[in-house]
Structure 1
Amino acid sequence: MSGRATAAPTDPSRTSALAAGLRRLGVRPGARLLVHASLAGTGLRAERLRDALTEVLGPRGTLVVPAFTPANSRTSSAHLTRTAGMSEAQVTAFRERMPAFDAASTPSEGMGVFAETVRTAPGARRSGHPQTSFAALGGDAGRLSAGHPLTCHLGEESPLGALCRERGQVLMINVGFSVCTAFHLAEYRIPKPPLRMYACVVKVNLPGRRQGEEWTAYEDVALDDSDFPEIGRAFPPSELREGRIGGAGAMLFGIPEAVGHAVHWMTENRR
């Protein structure tokens, strides 16, 4: 991938200590692991954590992170926040200047330094959704990041759906259930999920012309994470493994179990 910074050298002894902590928590070789991590205030280095995870997962395992770009959509709250207070003409000009999503170079937004460290690592692959892409590193990175259609942010045809089918796990470090992406898959599985229109700027190949950019609109499930903390509080403790990684609180759990719990909770409580 283009635009990578040179990684700082890591301390093998500290990386090995992190790897030992990950093994104690339950991370195993060959796993497909979706990681959410906030390293602020933890003393953890993103490169060390990435290297410790790839060490534990081994050549057959795969490390996955969200690499979302929500501001690429004119219908997102992130975009509306950026354009708040602008005149209609200013908003139009702003949108005309917005670059189309490029899986190889567009940075993720709000996902944290760890996710960017994985996205920009040598050998990393990224799915092609212009709003909710995932970056993957490891044995199955190419396959898990392939085939992410525009009309399926976080559903069955996304990398998240594949991770669930293959009994992947979620590792959360220094974050809570409010950012648990796995719960979004449940929104596609509840009866008659609400739909909404989305619009984002994408690259297009036009016959006989150079590659261009255009705004495209599409319908998908209306994603809503406002009740994720409540869903997390109701998650059975028996499904969780809790511990500390480098002094930071951490949780490990199965994606199928999390999605199944969220489907039941949403079916009973969402109106």
Structure 2
Amino acid sequence: MGRNLHVLRFTELFTIVGRPNIFSYGEIKSATDSFSLSNILGRGGYGPVYKGKLLDGRIVAVKQLSSTSHQGKKEFMTEIATISAVQHRNLVKLHGCCIDSKTPLLVYEYLEQGSLDQAIFGKTDLNLDWRTRFEICVGIARGLAYLHEESSMRIVHRDIKASNVLLDADLNPKISDFGLARHYKDSMTHLNTGVAGTLGYLAPEYAMMGHLTEKADVFAFGVVALEILAGRRNFDDSLEEDEKYLLGCVSFHILVLTSK
């Protein structure tokens, strides 16, 4: 997990744009009722995510970097640096972090309706009619447009997928999980980088050659949009062979329609 993973220097945090609030371990332990299992909201690439209530009454989501996580200090710092430097209604808001615990913690706003994948694939009472699904797609697109074109730095998220989009009480989507994000200058046409992200959402040119541009996020967004419209995951092993892959299914039907 890298040297001194659990010992993050304050000087490193203070170089980050936006200087996140620093919470004590005692505050977060109290807020989550000692990280009670009953407060677990889910598990991400970092580790478990807990629901908590701060002393000032704010409800928060606490991401804990588990000791077995494949992500480490670099991703932790990247997430803080990225989300502290941007602010948009379709990006999740970071309240702060905790670095005096055995495992680093990120403290985010709590979003009542959970993740998008739970809303469209799981058992839920949410009324995701066509208008709502359309607005969710538009919201995600606005968040990405901000990251790519409107923020103070040019950012590629690199892991856009349904589970990394959260929904607030009004079903407004907010992009989360910035641990794999990359920044680069306007003068650069692309970045040559190791491939990261989730299978099924990777743009072909990025997956094959490691050429990273905003188009990688746009491709992943297209997959998510198809999942939202179809109401199914991009891969479903329970279906017939020719229907398992959503992209293949859609491509086939488009071919049939255009050939008529």
TM-score tier by shorter-chain length is 0.3 to 0.5
Q: Which has the higher contact order (CA 8 A, sep 6+)?
A: 1
